[in-house]
Structure 1
Amino acid sequence: MFVVAAGSPERPLVVACEGPVLEVIDPGTVTRLCTLPTGIDHALRLVAADLDGRPGAIVTGASVRRAIDLETGAWTSITQNQDQDQDSLVRATLPPYTVELADTVLTVRDRATGEPVGVPVALPNRWARGAAVTTIDGRPVVAVASGTTVTVHDLTTTEEILTVVADEQRVDAVAILGNILVTAGIDESVRLWDLRSGASLGTPAPSATGVPITAVATGRLHGLPFVISGDEAGTLRLWDLGPDGLTQAGTTLHGHDDWVRSIRITELDGRAVAVSAADRTLRRWDLTTGEIVGDPIDTRYSTDVFTIAHWNGMTVGIGKQSDNRTRVWDLTTGELVAGPLDDWAASCAFAALDGTLYAVLEDHPEDGYGDYDQDEIALQVWDLAEGDKLGEPLVGGGFGGIVMRKPVTVTAVGGRPTLVSGSGVDGLLRLREFGAENPVDVALAGHEGQVNALATAELDGRTVAVTGGLDGTVRFWDLSAATAIGGPRIGHIGKVRAAALAEVDGMLVAVTGGSDGDLRTWPL
């Protein structure tokens, strides 16, 4: 987390950056003025800026830098200097001094000669996160964040003159606004302190986000489009989806006591039903009445991957649980009809397409598939019913031995089955046909950071995808043409965690849920 003083003497502001958002705070009242998306997954630097007379901030990520207007929220990308120093050395300057903070040592130097001033200070904690300089009553000082404390030192001697215990866990950033010390903690709160006495000024400004949305599904009920969402508290909500957006329909659905991992729509005994996977159960909900159908299905373990398919005359739920075994349930009776199966332990997605059940598995070099490096975790498509491997592995489909489950699916592109994956840490959306002599193999760039959510649909004979990322943006893709559709859609305050597509009055609309607790619609 970063924090800086911004604005003007007439209208001072405090800006905190955590993940893909900026929090703009009034230091006089310690109230949050607004929360602005940055479109950058992981910020490396934050500085205040004057944007043609307007208060601004410049946020730097791994491959992009953006100037953000703090009044309007508008942002502009700035050319990134690839040679910019991004090591662990933190520097601050107050002529004639330069402050260096490296690892756990604070060093003050003469700016002209580079020689140390006073004795270098060994800080008490390895979490030395930042430094800010100012002058108090004519005395140059530096405030250093280290662990749970901020220490203030005289720049002429490096003598410690004040200690503030600012956070119970860790101070991530520090800034100075006049005689006010600003700290940002790992708990995402921003606190203000009197720089002379160390006294707390007001109550912390807490994080602004609501209950994160973790799963979204769309369908049609009585011929009209609807959305069902699930959140981190285990709650499900039904929404009518119209040209003007979302309207909550009916009552909130309660039953789960842990976050909703997946929602799928199907039909059981002639009625529209939603099936949700959370805690260690599958629950079936009548979408007309909002009532739960039958008893919860005990999965014994949490369900990491889930889909619904038609198999052997049954409507079944296929899930891979946290014990790395796959199980199949008859959703009409709730009975386990297959499993636990050990063969699909590495599954990160299941998909039903044109009567075929597909499983997408991690493909590790030590298992003998492919000739790529150990770090290049790949994805391999299998015919789940026949047990046959289909095509070659998709290299770059995972990272660090782990494949994220949500942004992976199998869909038809140009009439050919295609693996679509956004699970790489590089934020690329990868397409790989399988079963073709000259398969299409494409990587599409757009997100700044990990893709978190993926959904696909057909529109006018072409396959379209929507993705949501850790950078807080939503993007559309024409998979048939292997190209992006327009630029990023900005609106979520934080990462996007779930996405679905629906048709409304002949128009394709994406529905996304974020860590900010918002459910948003985006017409294509």
Structure 2
Amino acid sequence: MSDDLRDIRPGVESAVAAERLADPVFLVNADPGSVTALLDAASGPAARLASSVYRASTHLHPAVTAGVRRQLLALDAARYGDRELSARITAVPVEDEPAASWGVEWATGSQLDRSVRRIPTAHTDALLAVATAVVDGRPVAVTGGTDRSVRVWDLTTGRQVGQPLAGHTGQVCAVATAVVDGRPVALIGNSDRTVRVWDLTTCEQIGQPLTGHTAAVSAVATTVLDGRPVAVTGSGDVRVWDLTTCEQIGEPLTGHTHAVCAVATAMLDGRPVAVTGSHDETVRVWDLTTCEQIGEPLTGHEEAVRAVATGVVDGRPVAVTGSEDETVRVWDLTTGRQIGRPLTGHDGWVLSVLTTTIDGRPCIVSGGEDWTLQVWDLTTGKQVGEPVNGNTDKVRAVATAVLDGRPHVIAGSQDGMVRVWDLTSGGQVGGPPTGHTGDVNAVATTVVDGRPVAVTGGDGTVRVWDLTTGRQIGLHLTGQDDWVGAVATAVVDGRPVAVAGSHVQVWDLTTCQQISEPLADHEEGVNGVATAVVDGRPVAITGSWDDVRVWDLTVGQQVGEPLTGHIGDVNAVATGVVDGRPLAVTGGSDGTVRVWDLPAGQQVGEPLTGHIGDVNAVATAVVDGRPLAVTGGDDGTVRVWDLTIGDQVGPESVFPLGVCAVAVVPDGRLVVGFGWEVAVLARR
């Protein structure tokens, strides 16, 4: 431990850690041992984030210079989704080092520790309830859990609004919101058998707690009855409350033989109704005007019904229920019959459900014990996209909100965290984008509908990314083998296309549809692919574990003899033009980069050396009139080479994992694939 830390008293250790970890100059220039000594004492969101950023590549920090450490920290800050912190780190001056040449615009975070890639909420235990509202024009979330606290969060900034709503003497089991006399309010169901009403504008409790239940209040919903805002609460029975007078309406609704777990409200034939789910495995519908049950119980679940939501499909009111039997079921409230087959996909209890609209389609979002959110088309019953992963424990509560005109889901889980997910893109808000679940082996760039995009491949998928926002565009391209070793882009008949896969398939990037059969058939899978024009003919150049080949894209046939020279596998291919002649640039497992004259079919000059280990990635570009090659390798470095003089230009960039893919955007930015991650660098 450094001398200036020896005299820190335990009482101020957290404050010192928070101050120093929030200082990018300290993170970059301090001895790594001094920083590491503070990591466990980090407190507050900024310090905890800085601690996570530092830990991401902490194994490399002692062995590198402060300049390289600056680059690694900027990259890891972007991997955690904090572009502002990344920019501040990049701008840190380092003694005897030039200013950073590259800054990180954005990066994915698939390989980061999920326990720290989250939105901190200050809750100290499981979150059991989430609801949303609008306060003073701002969308907010109201959360509660086993730590007995209720907190309000501004969904735009991710910050807590005011102090916790205090005074609860039991676990917070349920949350709902309503508008009473023009004021947004929150209703909180407690294990102390009470319901409390809070004014969300003033954060003050309204009146006395609503009492009468004889067990924990585990469900709350709101609706309007005869023009009055009312609450429907579930416990051992179901009760209805007038929110204007805070008095109970009528007698309790009885019929369930076990505790009520969930409540939702709807309109049925012009009448307000409540739909309840219970441990007795049934779903019941109640007329809130007469306080009587409508029809027979809805049966079919084989375990407790833990979640209920309502919606409308083709003009029919429906209920959606989730159960401990791991299914989601949809019910026609008019006929009392189940619609279609149970929706299966969760590997554990379904603990939360809601209905929403995505791209004009009514959908279900369900969360459960398996830590995932799953999205279903309410009309067809089919799953939409892939399950949303990223939670680190059971998803106990979900709610929806509209942010920037897009539907979002707010999920509370057993780990005490609230996470916000964009339902259109499937990405987490407030955290780095994720996508690939295995190594990113290939990257290429192009323009689709006027947007610069990157195309990445590796884990059996090919994904398209908007380089401006850092978000994935649509779902990944399907139909690939388990391994995607190559990606290139071109324009065919005026359409941007991607050439990708281990056996090279062509995809229309506008429609995301495959448009041809595999181009080439090496004896082994294709590791690299690039496109060029040679003697007026469009060609593809492919590199494999055997050699480099050139293919006429018009007729789909090989041109000339294979290009040989690498000792070992050919891992990457790119093309460029030097002095008017089309060239191919290849990287191999022999650690060399080689340049080939395509019309002559011969190697140009001596191999370019410098990488220690396999060269996995090659791209080309013209910068300030100079033709350049950019290469990445197992040594975790990205190097830039001048193709005219055959020498390296400037210092290499260092990454915490082996570099598997590189591409150059026409505006000069670099797209780098390392491990499972994708990052975009911009010259400063």
Q: Which has the higher contact order (CA 8 A, sep 6+)?
A: 1
How does the TM-score come out when normalised to structure 2? Answer: 0.38
How does the TM-score come out when normalised to structure 1? Answer: 0.49
Larger radius of gyration: 2
Larger proportion of strand: 1
